[in-house]
Every structure is written in structure tokens, then in C-alpha cells.
Structure 1
């Protein structure tokens, strides 16, 4: 009897394995089965959903059921039980990385323009960068602060050149020349006359700041120009005057007949040989009304002239007037930072 009971048990246990707990055949789908899937996309955070399949009453065939799938959102914070099937998929772009694999992303960084002097930013190796290439301001085109001896004329320098007339970037004497070019009486006013002198010097490679010896009936040369205590010399080195007082005492030591190129502007002497617009007396006063309407009109007016071939009073006054439609030269005197 004991042996018989054991045999029965052995037969019953395998039989139980052939049936599902609900009494259906092995492998049949549970009438209500739950699966959870989690998907992670690059465009949003994780999304968890529960899919519940309920078989139709008439759709069961040989243990296979076909039903309607209903997706119900599940709280992302919910805990998934160990016996639920969970599949996690990470998607980057159009590619899907299976669980357990590692996806690497390559980032390409596009570099901006290379640093350069003049971009307004102080980069490595630069001492300054003001965003321009103006040599006379506080930062040169080489992105270095100005200094005496760099060959550039800065706002706090009278000169920066090699020669006996430039010591520690200060003039030993002031330079004087007569322009090589001639122009009518419409000079663009006093400012325009000064620009002519500055341009003539620059074109000839002469460092310094220059203004024109010319007056109007409201503003005189004596009021516009610096009264230097240093000598005034032509570009060939000849002394014109020992100081402003000597320049305006009525006569000159030498004629101002050398132009910005170092060439003689007068081949003969006398009024009419080398006419220069002045409208100025020997002392620098400008009480004359013959100034081509403030050097702004080249019409049927008159402008008072001097003579560059002479060193007496006629160098600036005494040779009469010239029609403003005619042409004449200008005297240009260097201006220092200090008298």
C-alpha cells in the first residue's frame, strides 16, 4: 500500500505541471496580462505605459488568443514588480541602442575667427587692443602702447624720428616751409588752409603738426599759431628766426622759399615771383578785409599776399593783393606741444 501511494503522487505532480493555475492549458495567455515598457527619447523624459490585453471570447485557438490592446499611462514613479517583463530602449536620432550597449556621441566644436590685433579684444601676446589702426591714439596698430622711439608720432610727442632735430621725441627747432602747390583763394577757411599744410608735410614724409600763416579779418595768424621760444628753420637747415618774437619783428634772417620737398620755390626775387596767401601783417595781426571772404570764396574778391623770395616785411605784407580766382602758395609753420 505504501508503494502504491508513492506512485500516485509521482503521477499527479507531473500532471499539475501541464496546467496553468487557472485550469487552462500550459502556454495559454492569462486572460489579463500586464506588460510594462519604458522608452527614453532625446526630445523628452522617460515615458512609462501599461499594455493590457483582453482576449475576445471567440478568438482562442490552440492556446493562442487575439485581443484588443489598451495602453494606460502609468505613473513614472511607480515601482515595477520583479515578475513583470521590462524592456528599456534608448534612441538617439534615428538609431536605437539595445539594452546593455553603450552609445557614444561625437561633438564637433566650430572655432570662431582667430584672434588678431584690431579686433577690440586683448588677446594673448597683446598689450592693448582698441579696435582700430590709428597710430596716434593710446594703442598702436601693433597692439602696443605708444612709446618714444617706435617711429610713430603720438599725441604726446612732437617728433619720433632719427635726426638731430628730435631728442626724446621733442623738437630742437620748429620747421617752416612754403607749399610746392598753389591754390585759389577758396581754401576752405582757416581750417582748410591748415589741412593743406598738414597734408603737404605728410606727403613729403615730414613728421610734425603744421598750421598755415594766414589770417582773416576776424582771426589773426598771431592768435592761431604757437609763439615758440625755439628757432624756426627751413628744411635745408637755414635759420628763419630765433623765436616767435624774432619772426614777427618785421624781417627774417632767411627767406621762406624752400618747399616741403626741400626744393627752392623761387628762381628770382621780387613781388610776383612767389606769391603766398597771407592777409597778415608782419606782427601776425590780420586786420585786412582782403581775405577772399575768410578764404572761402574764389570769386571777384581780393586776397592779400606776401612774397616768398623776400625776407623784408614783404615776405608777408607789402606786395598788394591778388584776385581770389588766381593761385598762390601758403607758408606752413610747425606747432609744438610746448612753446
Structure 2
């Protein structure tokens, strides 16, 4: 609150008629302006009607510490024929910075800011609704289906192996997201004969490949007495190679003819799994004949039990028929490796 000092000086003219020293008639109009400023000024009006006014001005604007100044001007009209002083009109002007407010005529301007709030949902990939910035949204975070977890359509070159692709990487074995040859490895880790069935054996291969950063779909070369490896796996017309690019076979037909061009003794990490050769050096669960047929009852009850049963094994250090068949059986409670073959989409 800013206080203002108001100085009001009221002058009462004598009731008796006054004569001008110069001999002028009574009733002449005289206007006197008195200021308390260092240099007072007085003005006399001889025209304009029988009205006498006295204006008193405060010494100067009153300034406060917050930069606000206030000045007050008081005008008192006087009837020259009466000793009665008319009501005074006081106008107070307050100046703050660049703005001036007249208390007699105050104009208030209200500025309102209208904010626009969007009532729509923010874009959220995976909520099943195609929103701004999204090309698709199938409501899940699976990259390999018809819409990626980034809500984009699958395409070759995005680094994800989609359903219609065999690979998506920059290597000499991936041209147009199709393989030039199929990859083969033996697992670096072992498992008992309880693999949780054939599906569990395939997942074992997939996990080893994923852990090593190998793209592609992999299944295990393994059979039961009800389902053979030859019936489960893709028969590729392209070569099968180890991860060191050594050729294992030129095609499925070559793979299943009884012998291999090179042993499948390189694991998913590119390391050698066999330190010596011969049955028992690098045992692999197979229960499969060289042509991929099964039919052996030694399959740990469909690779689901690890106690008091046996499973047929192959040998990764060899490239003759014993690579898959010919090294006998192993108790299912013991551990052996798996052969993992990449699966193609086309012959």
C-alpha cells in the first residue's frame, strides 16, 4: 500500500466587496494559483465567467522504495459572490514505472491465457492402437511378427530376423536376408537326457546361438522312436558349414549320405569341442541314423527322463557314420552335447 500526502489549502474570500487598487469595479474575477514548489507561480484570469479557483500542488511526487511515485492536485471552485466554499475535487495520480493510473478513471485490463490441453492418449507402442508416429501396433513387443516392438513394419535390413527372412546381418552369408549356406555347430554346454522333449532340445540350440550372438533359427539333430530328425529338419540344397566356414556337407543329401566332409566339432563360440578323437571324446545325444531316420528306443523316453534309461549318442570328433550313430549309448543321467543345424525357408 502506497501512501500519498495530500495538501489541501482552502481559501475563503471576504464577504465584503473588494476594489481593485486601480479602481476597477467590484466583482472582477481573480484566479490565484499557489504552489509549494520552490518558485511559486500565480495566474489571474479576467475572462471566462465568475469562477475563481485555487489550485494547490504538493511539493512533488512522493516516491517510495519500490519505485512508485504519487502526486496530488486539489482544485477548489469558489463562487465570488458567496462566502461559501464549494466542494473540492481531488484527483490523485499514481505512477508506477511506466504505467499511470488515475483514481477517477481506472481502467482494468485482464489478460487471460488459454491453454490447449490435448485430451487424446499419448502415443504408446504396444497398446494395440495405431497412433501418431506409428505405422502399426499389434499390441505386443514381439519383433519377429508382422509389427516390430517399435511399431514399424518389418523389412530387410532392420537387424531383426523376421518370419520371411533367414538372416538380417552384414556378412557374406546373408544376401537379401537369405543365407548363402546353413550354419552348423555342436553345443559348448552339455545336458542330461532329460531335455524336455524334442522341443526342449530345439530351444537348447536356439539359446546357445542367441547367447553367442548368432542369427538364424536352429533345431537339434535328434530323434525319438516316434519322430525322426529327417522328418523334423529342413532339407537344404545349400551347403552346411561350421562357424569357421569349413564345409560339413554340400546339401542335405550330402549330409545324410553316411559321412561328412569335416567333423562338426566347432561350438557356437567358435571353439573346438573335441580335444581328442574317438567314441567318448565328444558325446552328442542323437538317437538318429546317418540318413536322419530314428526308430531307436534308446531315447531317454523321448528325451524326457534322466533316470535308469539310456540314450543313443554320436561323436563330434569323427566324420564317418559314427558322427551320429555307432558309438553306443549313454546313461540318461549323464551329460552330452547336441548338434544344432540352421533352418532355412527355401530349398
Deviation sequence 1:132-156 (CA, Å, 0-9, x none): 2110011112211000011111011
Q: Which residue is equivalent to 2:262?
A: 254
Give runs of aligned pairs for residues 66-145 of structure 1, distance below 5 A.
111=119, 113-145=121-153
Q: Pick from 208, 214, 223: which aligns with 2:231?
A: 223
Q: Which residue is equivalent to 1:334?
A: 342
Q: 2:248, 2:264 → 1: CA distance?
A: 7
Which ranges in structure 2 are unaligned for 5 or more consecutive residues? 1-111
Query: The residue matched to 2:341 in structure 1 has which SS?
Result: strand
Give TM-score, length-normalised by structure 2.
0.65
Q: Pick from 167, 170, 189: which aligns with 1:162?
A: 170
Q: Which residue is equivalent to 1:147?
A: 155
Q: Pick from 289, 307, 312: which aligns with 1:299?
A: 307
After TM superposition, which residue ranges in structure 1, 4 or more long, deviate above 4 angstroms?
A: 106-113
Query: The residue matched to 1:195 in structure 2 has which SS?
Result: helix
Q: Are the structure 2 counterparts of residues 325 and 118 from structure 1 closer, same or farther at C-alpha, using a change threshold of 3 Å?
A: same
Deviation sequence 1:43-85 (CA, Å, 0-9, x none): xxxxxxxxxxxxxxxxxxxxxxxxxxxxxxxxxxxxxxxxxxx
Q: Which residue is equivalent to 1:178?
A: 186
Q: 1:243, 1:157 → 2: CA distance?
A: 20
Shift of 1:338: 1.1
Q: 1:285, 1:115 → 2: CA distance?
A: 53
Give TM-score, length-normalised by structure 1.
0.67
Larger Rg: 2
Deviation sequence 1:190-216 (CA, Å, 0-9, x none): 111111111111111111111100011
Q: 2:175, 2:118 → 1: CA distance?
A: 51
Deviation sequence 1:74-129 (CA, Å, 0-9, x none): xxxxxxxxxxxxxxxxxxxxxxxxxxxxxx9x999684652222222212221111
Query: The residue matched to 1:303 in structure 2 has which SS?
Result: strand
Q: Which residue is equivalent to 1:30?
A: none
Query: The residue matched to 1:126 in structure 2 has which SS?
Result: coil
Q: Which residue is equivalent to 2:196?
A: 188
Q: 1:307, 1:292 → 2: CA distance?
A: 18
Q: Which residue is equivalent to 1:312?
A: 320
Q: Are the structure 2 counterparts of residues 229 and 108 from structure 1 closer, same or farther at C-alpha, using a change threshold of 3 Å?
A: closer
2:211 matches 1:211: no
Q: 2:201, 2:132 → 1: CA distance?
A: 44
Q: Pick from 276, 298, 320: which aligns with 1:268?
A: 276
Q: Which residue is equivalent to 2:102?
A: none
Q: 1:279, 1:245 → 2: CA distance?
A: 19
Give runs of aligned pairs for residues 39-58 of structure 1, distance below 5 A.
none
Q: Which residue is equivalent to 1:278?
A: 286
Query: The residue matched to 2:254 in structure 1 has which SS?
Result: helix
Report if aligned partners of 2:216, 2:343 keep a CA contact under 8 Å in 1.
yes
Deviation sequence 1:143-187 (CA, Å, 0-9, x none): 110000111110110000000100000000000000111000001
Report if aligned partners of 2:123, 2:133 keep a CA contact under 8 Å in 1.
no
Q: 1:323, 1:227 → 2: CA distance?
A: 31
Q: 1:194, 1:266 → 2: CA distance?
A: 22
Structure with higher helix content: 1
Q: Are the structure 2 counterparts of residues 250 and 113 from structure 1 closer, same or farther at C-alpha, using a change threshold of 3 Å?
A: same
Which ranges in structure 1 are unaligned for 5 or more consecutive residues? 1-103
Q: 1:109, 1:170 → 2: CA distance?
A: 49
